[in-house]
Structure 1
Amino acid sequence: MILELVDIRIQAGKQQEFDIAIVKGLQQVISKARGYKGHQVNKGIETPERYVLMIYWETLENHTVDFRQSPAFQEWRAIVGPYFAVPPTVEHFNLLEKT
């Protein structure tokens, strides 16, 4: 399983709207993607415009090819993209240890 870690910074004062948009995008788009295994969204306390999104994929290619190169990616970005202050930082991880 692959972890996609997304560091999102949104425009100030848009948290309530973004909360609705990200949940909608995850439920309507991401969760239906090939290889999707689950997700978690965390909101910043000290920095309320910062969100950390974790999406679990079966394989790296499920994210980088199957999703990113599909029309669903454009649909996802249309839902959440208008709130971004800067482009999100995206990295992928393999699990080393789980307790």
Structure 2
Amino acid sequence: MILEAVMLQVKQGMEEEYEAAFYKASKIISSMKGYISHELQRCMEVKGKYLLLVKWESLEDHTVGFRQSIEYQAWKEQLHHFYDPFPIVEHFKSVNLS
């Protein structure tokens, strides 16, 4: 399992509209092969700042399966115009500490 982590900055004054659009777009991502779960967190200190965490079965499920899909185009159309600056997406894997 991998964790996709994205810090999102939504344009000022568009937070409520963004959250409604994200709720609708969540149906897209949750239908994808390899998708496990996702959550969107709103920052308490910085207005318009969010943290998106998505769990995928594999890196390729996100980078190829989702990002190169027709569904991603709909995701992009619904959400990308809210971001400024455009977010950097990073992927993480659990560290085995035992």
TM range (shorter): over 0.9
Write the distance in 2 (CA, Å) between the matches of 1:48 and 1:73.
Answer: 27
Segments of structure 2 that go 5 or more residues without pairing to the other structure are none
Return the TM-score normalized by structure 1: 0.93
Tell me the SS of whatever aligns to 2:80. Answer: helix
Structure 1 stretches lacking a partner, 5+ long: none
How do 1:62-77 and structure 2 match up within 5 A? Answer: 62-77=61-76
Equivalenced residues, count = 97
Q: Percent identity?
A: 36
Q: Secondary structure at the match of 2:64?
A: helix
Q: CA deviation at 1:40?
A: 1.0
The CA distance in 2 between the partners of 1:97 and 1:11, in whole Å, is 38
**Cα distance in structure 2, aligned partners of 1:17 and 1:53:** 16
Residue 14 (structure 1) aligned with residue 18 (structure 2): no
TM-score with structure 2 length normalisation? 0.93
Q: RMSD of the alignment, in Å?
A: 1.3
Q: What stretches of structure 1 move > 6 A for 4+ residues in a row? A: none
Is 2:4 aligned against 1:4?
yes
